[in-house]
Amino acid sequence: MGVIGVSILIVCVCGLIAGAVLALASRAFAVKVDPRIEKIEAVLPGANCSGCGLPSCFLYASHIVNDNAEPNQCVQLREDRVCEIGGLLGREVTARQRQVAAIRCWGSPRSKKLFIYGGFQSCRVASYYSSGGNACLYNCMSLGDCFNICPFDAITHTTGRIPHIDPDVCTGCGKCVRECPAQIIQLVPENARPHIACSSRDKGAVVSKICPVGCISCMKCVKTCPQQAIAHTDGLIEIDYAKCNSCGECIPVCPRGIIVDLSTPNAEEALLQ
C-alpha cells in the first residue's frame, strides 16, 4: 500500500467517523417540532413584516400553535386563508377587518414654509430641523421615509409631494405608522368612508395662517355626526371607527374640505385641486 492508499484510507476513515458522529448526534439531539407549525408557516405570507407584533412568520406560526394565539393577527391574511389555518388547528377562528394606512396630511405642498430644507433627505433627520422647514409641526415632510420602509411597495413617492398609499396593495402592517417621525400616518379600516386628512393639534387661528387645508377645530363635524363617533381631544379631531357607520354626513359640512371619502377613487387628486 503506497502513500496514496494510506491517504485515501485516512480521509475515508475520518469521513466515516464524522458521518457517524453526526448521524448519532441528530438522533440524540433531535428537537421535536410540531408539524403544524411548518404547515401554518406555509400558509402565512412569509414576508416577515412584523405586522402581527412578532419578528418573523415562523415565530408567529409557533406562537399560534404553542400559545393558542389567534391566527387573525396577520395583517396580510385574507379571510379564506385564516379559515384554512383554523382548519389546520381544528378550532374556530374569525377573520378581522382589513386595515390600510392613510396619511393624515394632504396640505404640505401648499402650506407655509419657514425656510428651504437642504439637508439629508430623510424625514427622520428633517424632523430635527423645525419639521424640515415647515411652519406646521404636523406636516408631511415629503422626503419618503414611509416609502423607504414599506416592504410591499404600496407607497409611491416623488420628493416634494405627499406620498400616495395604494389601498389595494397596502397590507396595514403598520411599519410606516411607526416610522413616520411626524406621526401623521394612521391605520384605518379598508374603504374608510370619512377620513380626516389633517393631524394638526394647533389652534384654529394658527392653522388658518399657515395651511389652506388644515383643520381649524371648528367642531362642525363633531356636532354633525349622528353616531357621536367624532371626538376632539387634545386639539386633534379623531374618528372612532368602531362607532362610525360610514353615513358620510360629516363630509360636506367641513368648511376646509379635508374630510374625504377614501373609498372613492382619486380622492386625493380631488382634494389637491
Q: What does DSSP assign to residue 231?
A: E
To another protein, the closest distance from the beta carbon of 67 in angstroms equals 15
Q: How far apart are CA 56 and CA 117, in angstroms?
A: 37
Which distant-in-sequence residues (6+ apart) come within 8 Å of 124 by Cβ?
A: 145, 179, 181
- C-beta of 115 vs 120, nearer to another protein: 120
14 binds another protein (CB under 8 A): yes
Determine if 11 is a binding residue for another protein (CB under 8 A).
yes
DSSP SS3 for 198: strand
Sign of the C-alpha dihedral, residues 46, 171, 154, 176? negative
Q: Does 22 bind another protein (CB under 8 A)?
A: yes
Q: Using CB under 8 A, which of 34, 35, 91, 120 touches another protein? A: 120
Amino acid at 108: S
If one asks whether residue 128 binds another protein (CB under 8 A), the answer comes out as: no
Binds another protein by CB under 8 A, chosen from 47, 89, 125, 149: 125
25 belongs to the binding site for another protein (CB under 8 A):
yes
Work out whether 18 is an interface residue with another protein (CB under 8 A): yes
231 binds another protein (CB under 8 A): no
Q: How far apart are CA 105 and CA 125, in angstroms?
A: 19
| CA pair distance 167, 190, nearest whole angstrom | 7
Look at phi and psi of residue 130 and say left if phi exceeds 0, alpha if psi is from -120 to 50, else beta: left
DSSP bridge partners of 238 = 231
Asked if 253 touches another protein (CB under 8 A), the answer is: no
Told to check if 26 binds another protein by CB under 8 A, we report: yes
CA distance 69 to 154: 28
Which stretch, 2-10, 155-163, 200-208, 225-233, contacts another protein (CB under 8 A)? 2-10
Instruction: Give the Cα separation of 131 and 138 in Å (integer).
Output: 8
String marking each residue 27-66 x if it binds another protein according to CB under 8 A? --xxx-----------------------------------
Q: Which of 15, 46, 87, 212 binds another protein (CB under 8 A)?
A: 15
Binding site for another protein (CB under 8 A): 6-7, 10-11, 14-15, 18, 21-22, 25-26, 29-31, 120, 125
